[in-house]
Amino acid sequence: MEPITWNDFEKVELRVGTILEALDYPEARKPAYKLKVDFGEFGIKWSSAQITKHYTKEELCGRQVIGVINFPNKQIGKFMSEFLVTGFADENGDIVLAAIERWVPNGSKLI
């Protein structure tokens, strides 16, 4: 593991957003959803997430997630991802979302 400085960490915009919509993404190589997320003052952004093993589309709507919003956009197939959804791999390699314990305003920064 390579150490980073506090200044390096401060550059990462880990922000909270609320999922407004979760859609199937059948064109993805691995099962995934397209997520539409409201990041408050930072706007509404889209991303794809390989979280179909642990979550249904219905239970995702209204849930808050942590996203990295200052990466460059990334083309994923025919879809343009505008942020990175954060999570952890379980013992099978399936992704579990990083969670917010209590509601916080959209756009709040991890500090």
**What is the domain partition of the chain in residue ranges?**
16-97
Q: Which two tokens stand for residue 15?
A: 């922000």
| Token reading at 43 | 């706007």
How many whole angstroms separate alpha carbon 34 and alpha carbon 16? 17
Per-residue pLDDT of 63-104, as tens digits, reads 999 999 999 999 988 899 999 999 999 999 999 999 999 999
Q: Identify the architecture of domain 16-97 in CATH.
A: Beta Barrel (2.40)
| pLDDT digit string, tens, across residues 34-53 | 999 999 999 999 999 999 99
User: Per-residue pLDDT tens for 9-41?
Assistant: 999 999 999 999 999 999 888 999 999 999 999
pTM of the model: 0.94
Q: How far apart are CA 3 and CA 66, in angstroms?
A: 22
The pLDDT value given to residue 28: 87
What DSSP string describes 8-51? HHHHS-EEEEEEEEEEE-TTSSS--EEEEEE-GGG-EEEEEE--
